[in-house]
């Protein structure tokens, strides 16, 4: 009765009377054999929703909480042959207009309600969407020119659509599939990645997006895989082109290893080399004088010889014409008669004359030996009394002209510091440079000299040509304050230059200015919470993120700056070191997240002018390229700022930042500083002008040296942009008070060659100007130091100082000189509190269909280059935050992070926006005191 009543009531609601037929099996709830399914309305075509139930008295649809009118139902009934039960089926149509007119909190939905004797059953909800696919792609793929074996990444973001569009890639109108080519990766984010480009990968690529509504094609991206040309090996030198005299030899190479393809760069450099040769001319032999005649033989003959040695024949010259010996009768033809000897023995008078000649020769020999012994004894006595008159210094000066030292030694000659100074007159012209990098290790060159003062007359311009500079091999290991014995300090600081040219990266000549030859470095013990290593005043640090090291046990890590001569060598010879070489380890450490290393550099980075590469030392102490900072890589991440490079690394080892200038407009920054100190006498004063690569580590070596020698910083250091235009650097002193001070020697301008400055590789260059005041009452000194690149920039250092005989206290050169914090562990090492860090990662690591995930975080933090690297990390957001920490370690400013989170919140849903706003507020509120170093 209750069921019938409900049916009647429902019939009244729908406006029609329900059928009288009832299910054949009473007491059973309806069972749905077919429930309505989700559907998409394409264009203006309505969709059909179908329900089928057994046993069912009636079936009606309910859409968006309201009953559908009975007139809109199409129903039928039939008998199930297997069960014998009546099956009822109902169908309705849903039009596009109905869906568009619906404005509710949910999508348009419908369900079925079926009645039986026992009660009602409801089907699942079926949603109805209007299908569409917009025309414009959110991101079209862009054409690329990629070197062979380089990585190709083509980005594609399809148009917005319902349902979401599927993406396929076409190459030259043929489908690209990663199933048939392991080198190709079609990713879930719709990007196409070719791991190692091949020549066959060149072509036109199109992103094809499609759903049930339509297909859309992106713009075509042309990919060109090019091959840069490479030189073949040099051929052997040809023979000299002249048979005699000065000629030319040639050798050649071709740009075929490999040949440039698809617009690849042609080989740089010369294809033909020429050198001069001297073909030795033939020299014909010439006869020497005849020897003396031999004694007359028993055959009454005597002989004499001559040799073809005046000159001997050389270089294919002719032998002498004529006989080399001759024989003649020694008795004028009277020795024989009828062929028989007249005298069997020589006359007695002849024997007597021979004895006299023998004894005379012996006497002359004894006299000559006696004279020689007396001469040697007199010479040795003369040497001990008067010393050496002439010292040949050609071995010391190399390309210099020889000095002639004339001394008259008085007093005890064994005293090196005699109270009476010898008189010295020197004449010479310097054709080698006065500028140098370090003169304190030339001790062995000057130790043999007596205690003398040298006055040098030199040209006003000292040119540092590469071809004519002297090469010295000085003893190493002298402490910084050790100067050559008996030699004025300022002389040694202004007249000696050491050169050491290496193939590849040019290592600056001379020992390092840092008196501490040990490596700079720091160590720390880190656990699961991570921490930070800092080498103060070097611009080098290492951030170990939270979770990079396992929970137990803790690991000891180290980071050192290699202080030796640069080991980064290249065969080409045009790459330079842009920052210190840094090693972190131990090699056996197992990291689950990459560490963030920061290295200061001195390049004005511009992709058009520089090719900056990260290199790593292999096990056999060779350097291999890890990546170019402009390329995308999944092995490591490189972020170049104006003065620092931030690296994400997961492999311990030695790393160096190397730059290859692409044009003459490439610029590296030089830091200029002038120091002063008293000379060896109260009247002397020394100025030292340093030109060093603009990195804190390089300048720290200058500071350490000047601290040891008592130098004073006379002017705030300044920066000079130095261009790779092959022009030299000139350092000149100007506006010296002429009546108060004298420059020794009279050199007002000194010069560094281009290669010295460009390839200094973090090693300081410096020039010294030695001055002398005329009066002890002169206590003030002023001048201008001009440092200028020829056809380039100029910088002026203004010096004004009070000269005192007593040494002053050292000046602090760094803001962090007193900083002793080199290792921090746990939360205090990070700017972002751990709780905030974890909440950000939990929010952005979760996939979001609208693309508002970690990629948007990277974009807002301006870290959206090389997103492929982050995508391969277990927690992309954590790695992004580690990079942000490394980049902002000096500022400690969280405003940029909070602002980025707030911007992301504005474009999210309301709940997410509130959540991120809370994050940004918490970031500012929860921050503690940042680390001091």
pLDDT score at 343: 44
Predicted confidence (pLDDT) per residue in 664-713, tens digit: 889 999 999 999 998 888 888 899 999 999 999 989 889 988 888 888 89
Number of Cα atoms under 13 Å in the Cβ half of residue 277: 19
Q: Of the given ranges (100-109, 381-390, 393-402, 916-925), which has the lowest mean pLDDT?
A: 393-402
Spatial neighbors of 322 by CB under 8 A, at least 6 apart, are 287
pLDDT score at 281: 86
Is the pLDDT reported for residue 735 higher than 60?
yes
Number of Cα atoms under 13 Å in the Cβ half of residue 897: 29
pLDDT score at 434: 31
Is the pLDDT reported for residue 97 higher than 70?
yes
> Does residue 79 lie in a domain region?
yes
Q: How far apart are CA 584 and CA 299, in angstroms?
A: 95
pLDDT score at 695: 92
pLDDT score at 733: 92
pLDDT score at 443: 33
Q: CB neighbours (10 Å) of residue 594?
A: 24
User: Following DSSP, what letter does each residue of 821-860 receive, concatenated?
Assistant: --EEESGGG-SS-HHHHHHHHHHHSS--TTS-SHHHHHHH
854 and 758 co-located in one domain: no
Is the pLDDT reported for residue 471 higher than 50?
no
Nearest to 131 by CA among 98, 93, 161, 104: 161
Is the pLDDT reported for residue 853 higher than 80?
no
Q: What are 445's two structure tokens?
A: 């060159």
- For range 140-153, the mean pLDDT: 92
> Does residue 296 lie in a domain region?
no
pLDDT score at 370: 79
Confidence of residue 811 (pLDDT cuts 50, 70, 90): very low
Q: Taking a C-beta distance cutoff of 8 angstroms, is the pair 539, 644 a contact? A: yes
- For range 489-496, the mean pLDDT: 33
671 and 798 co-located in one domain: yes
Is the pLDDT reported for residue 793 higher than 60?
yes
> Does residue 74 lie in a domain region?
yes
DSSP three-state, residue 901: helix
* Structural domains counted in the chain: 3
> Does residue 698 lie in a domain region?
yes
pLDDT score at 749: 86
Q: Taking a C-beta distance cutoff of 8 angstroms, is the pair 75, 88 a contact? A: yes
772 and 859 co-located in one domain: no
End-to-end CA distance of the chain: 87
Is the pLDDT reported for residue 86 higher than 60?
yes
Q: Of the given ranges (25-34, 163-172, 237-246, 497-506), which has the lowest mean pLDDT?
A: 497-506
CATH code for position 855: 1.10.533.10
Highest mean pLDDT among 1-10, 252-261, 421-430: 252-261
pLDDT score at 85: 81
Is the pLDDT reported for residue 801 higher than 50?
yes
Mean pLDDT computed over every residue of the chain:
75
Predicted confidence (pLDDT) per residue in 179-190, tens digit: 788 888 887 788
Phi, psi of 18 (to 5 degrees): -70, 155
Is the pLDDT reported for residue 159 higher than 90?
yes
708 and 776 co-located in one domain: yes
Predicted confidence (pLDDT) per residue in 522-567, tens digit: 998 988 889 999 998 889 999 999 988 887 778 889 999 987 654 4
Is the pLDDT reported for residue 835 higher than 70?
yes
> Does residue 517 lie in a domain region?
no
Is the pLDDT reported for residue 815 higher than 50?
no
Q: Of the given ranges (262-276, 304-318, 447-461, 518-532), which has the lowest mean pLDDT?
A: 447-461
Is the pLDDT reported for residue 352 higher than 90?
no
DSSP three-state, residue 400: coil
729 and 852 co-located in one domain: no
**pLDDT > 70: percent of the chain:** 72
Highest mean pLDDT among 375-389, 557-571, 890-904: 890-904
CATH code for position 742: 2.60.40.2660
The sign of the CA dihedral 701, 702, 708, 712 is negative
pLDDT score at 576: 87
Spatial neighbors of 716 by CB under 8 A, at least 6 apart, are none
Q: What are 400's two structure tokens?
A: 């210099």
738 and 851 co-located in one domain: no
Q: What is the pTM of this model?
A: 0.48
Q: What are 571's two structure tokens?
A: 């065969």
pLDDT score at 805: 52
pLDDT score at 675: 93
pLDDT score at 11: 41
Three-state SS annotation for 534-574: EECCCCEEEEECCCCCCCCCCEEEEEEECCCCCCCCCCCCC
Is the pLDDT reported for residue 581 higher than 60?
yes
Phi, psi of 289 (to 5 degrees): -65, 150
Predicted confidence (pLDDT) per residue in 129-138, tens digit: 999 999 899 9
Angle of helix 910-926 relative to helix 834-844, nearest 10 degrees, comes to 160
pLDDT score at 493: 35
- For range 918-922, the mean pLDDT: 55
Q: Of the given ranges (393-397, 640-644, 719-723, 808-812), which has the lowest mean pLDDT?
A: 393-397
679 and 771 co-located in one domain: yes
Number of Cα atoms under 13 Å in the Cβ half of residue 653: 19
Phi, psi of 479 (to 5 degrees): -70, 160
pLDDT score at 390: 31
Q: What are 564's two structure tokens?
A: 């030796």
797 and 845 co-located in one domain: no
Is the pLDDT reported for residue 653 higher than 70?
yes
> Does residue 914 lie in a domain region?
yes
Is the pLDDT reported for residue 420 higher than 70?
no
pLDDT score at 750: 87
835 and 760 co-located in one domain: no
Confidence of residue 515 (pLDDT cuts 50, 70, 90): very low
> Does residue 787 lie in a domain region?
yes
Q: Taking a C-beta distance cutoff of 8 angstroms, is the pair 786, 751 a contact? A: no
Per-residue exposure over 330-369, b if at least 16 CB sit within 10 Å of its own CB, e if not: beeeebeeeeeeeeeeeeeeeeeeeeeeeeeeeeeeeeee
Point out which residues pair with 730 in neighbouring strands.
751, 788
Residue 768, domain extent: 667-802
Q: CB neighbours (10 Å) of residue 702?
A: 24
Confidence of residue 628 (pLDDT cuts 50, 70, 90): confident
Spatial neighbors of 680 by CB under 8 A, at least 6 apart, are 488, 489, 490
> Does residue 859 lie in a domain region?
yes
724 and 772 co-located in one domain: yes
pLDDT score at 408: 34
pLDDT score at 378: 66
Number of Cα atoms under 13 Å in the Cβ half of residue 540: 24
Q: Which of 130, 158, 180 is the last residue of a domain?
A: 130
Is the pLDDT reported for residue 727 higher than 60?
yes
Q: Edge-to-edge strand order for the sheet containing 152-154?
A: 152-154, 192-194, 184-186
CATH code for position 44: 2.60.40.10
Q: CB neighbours (10 Å) of residue 20?
A: 5
Predicted confidence (pLDDT) per residue in 27-68, tens digit: 678 889 999 999 999 988 899 999 999 888 899 999 999 999
Point out which residues pair with 766 in neighbouring strands.
436, 690
């Amino acid at each position: 009765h209750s069921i019938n009543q409900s049916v009647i009531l429902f019939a009244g609601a729908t406006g029609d009377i329900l059928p009288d037929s009832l299910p054949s099996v009473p007491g059973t709830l309806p069972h749905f054999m077919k429930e309505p399914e989700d559907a998409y309305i394409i264009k203006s075509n309505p969709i059909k929703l179908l329900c089928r139930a057994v046993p069912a008295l009636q079936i009606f649809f309910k859409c968006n909480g309201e009953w559908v009118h009975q007139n809109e139902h199409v129903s039928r009934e039939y008998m199930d042959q297997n069960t014998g039960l009546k099956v009822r089926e109902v169908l309705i149509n849903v039009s596009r207009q109905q869906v568009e007119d619906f404005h509710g909190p949910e999508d348009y939905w419908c369900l079925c309600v079926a009645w039986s004797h026992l009660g009602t059953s409801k089907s699942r909800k079926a949603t109805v969407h209007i299908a569409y696919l917009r025309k414009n792609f959110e991101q079209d793929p862009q054409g690329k020119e990629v070197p062979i074996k380089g990585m190709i990444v083509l980005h594609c973001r399809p148009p917005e659509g319902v349902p979401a569009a599927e993406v396929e890639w076409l190459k030259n109108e043929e489908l690209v599939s990663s199933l048939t080519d392991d080198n190709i990766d079609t990713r879930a984010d719709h990007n196409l990645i070719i791991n190692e480009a091949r020549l066959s990968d060149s072509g036109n690529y199109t992103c094809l997006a499609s759903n049930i509504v339509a297909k859309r094609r992106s713009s075509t991206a042309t990919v060109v895989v090019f091959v840069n040309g490479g030189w073949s090996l040099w051929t052997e030198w040809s023979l000299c082109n002249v048979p005699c005299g000065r000629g030319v030899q040639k050798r050649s190479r071709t740009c075929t290893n490999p040949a440039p393809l698809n617009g690849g760069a042609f080989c740089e450099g010369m294809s033909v080399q020429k050198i001069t040769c001297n073909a030795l001319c033939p020299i014909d032999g010439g006869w020497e004088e005849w020897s003396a005649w031999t004694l007359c033989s028993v055959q009454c003959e005597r002989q004499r010889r001559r040799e073809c040695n005046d000159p001997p024949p050389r270089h294919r010259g002719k032998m002498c014409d004529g006989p080399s010996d001759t024989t003649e009768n020694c008795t004028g033809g009277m020795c024989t008669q009828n062929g028989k000897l007249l005298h069997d023995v020589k006359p007695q008078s002849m024997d007597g004359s021979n004895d006299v000649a023998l004894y005379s020769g012996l006497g002359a020999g004894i006299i000559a030996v006696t004279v020689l012994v007396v001469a040697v004894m007199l010479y040795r006595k003369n040497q001990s009394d008067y010393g050496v008159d002439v010292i040949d210094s050609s071995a010391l000066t190399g390309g210099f002209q020889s000095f002639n030292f004339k001394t008259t030694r008085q007093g005890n000659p064994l005293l090196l510091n005699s109270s009476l100074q010898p008189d010295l007159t020197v004449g010479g012209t310097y054709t080698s440079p006065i500028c140098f990098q370090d003169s304190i290790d030339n001790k062995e060159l000057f130790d043999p000299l007596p205690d003398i003062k040298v006055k040098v007359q030199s040209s006003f311009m000292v040119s540092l040509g590469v071809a004519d500079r002297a090469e010295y091999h000085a003893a190493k290991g002298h402490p910084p304050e050790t100067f050559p014995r008996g030699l004025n300090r300022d002389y040694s600081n202004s007249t000696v230059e050491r050169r050491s040219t290496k193939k590849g990266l040019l290592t600056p000549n001379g020992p390092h200015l840092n008196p501490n030859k040990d490596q700079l470095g720091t160590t720390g013990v880190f656990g699961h919470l991570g921490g930070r290593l800092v080498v103060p005043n070097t611009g080098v640090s290492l951030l170990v993120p939270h979770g990079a090291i396992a929970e137990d046990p803790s690991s000891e890590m180290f980071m050192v700056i290699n202080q030796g001569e640069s080991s980064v060598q290249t065969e080409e010879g045009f790459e330079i070191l842009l920052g210190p070489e840094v090693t972190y380890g131990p090699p056996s450490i197992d990291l689950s997240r990459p560490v963030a290393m920061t290295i200061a550099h001195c390049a004005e980075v511009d992709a058009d002018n520089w090719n900056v590469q990260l290199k790593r030392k292999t096990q056999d102490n060779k350097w291999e390229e890890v990546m170019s900072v402009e390329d995308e890589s999944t092995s490591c991440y490189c972020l170049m700022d104006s003065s620092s490079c931030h690296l994400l690394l997961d492999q311990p080892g030695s790393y160096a930042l190397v730059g290859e200038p692409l044009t003459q407009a490439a610029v590296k920054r030089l830091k200029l500083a002038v120091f002063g100190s008293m000379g060896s006498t109260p009247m002397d004063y020394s100025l030292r002008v340093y030109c060093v690569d603009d990195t804190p580590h390089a300048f720290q070596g200058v500071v350490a040296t000047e601290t040891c020698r008592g130098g004073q910083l006379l002017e705030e250091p300044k920066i000079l942009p130095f261009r790779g235009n092959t022009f030299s650097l000139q350092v000149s002193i100007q506006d010296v008070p002429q009546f108060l001070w004298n420059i020794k020697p009279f050199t007002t301008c000194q010069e560094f060659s281009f290669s010295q400055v460009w390839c200094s590789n973090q090693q300081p260059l410096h020039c010294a100007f030695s001055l002398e005041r005329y009066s002890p009452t002169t206590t003030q000194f002023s001048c201008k130091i001009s440092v200028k690149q020829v056809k380039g920039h100029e910088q002026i250092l203004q010096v004004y100082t009070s000269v005192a005989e007593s040494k002053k206290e050292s000046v602090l050169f760094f803001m962090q000189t007193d900083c002793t914090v080199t290792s921090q562990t746990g939360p205090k090492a990070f700017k972002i509190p751990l709780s905030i860090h974890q909440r950000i990662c939990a929010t952005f690591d979760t996939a979001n269909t609208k693309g508002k995930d970690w990629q948007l975080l990277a974009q807002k933090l301006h870290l959206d280059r090389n997103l492929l690297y982050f995508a391969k990390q277990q927690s992309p957001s954590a790695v992004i935050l580690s990079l942000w920490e490394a980049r902002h370690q000096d500022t400690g400013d969280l405003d940029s992070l909070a602002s980025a989170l707030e911007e992301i919140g504005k474009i999210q849903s309301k709940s997410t926006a509130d959540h991120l706003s809370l994050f940004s507020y918490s970031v500012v509120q929860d921050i503690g005191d940042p680390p001091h170093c």
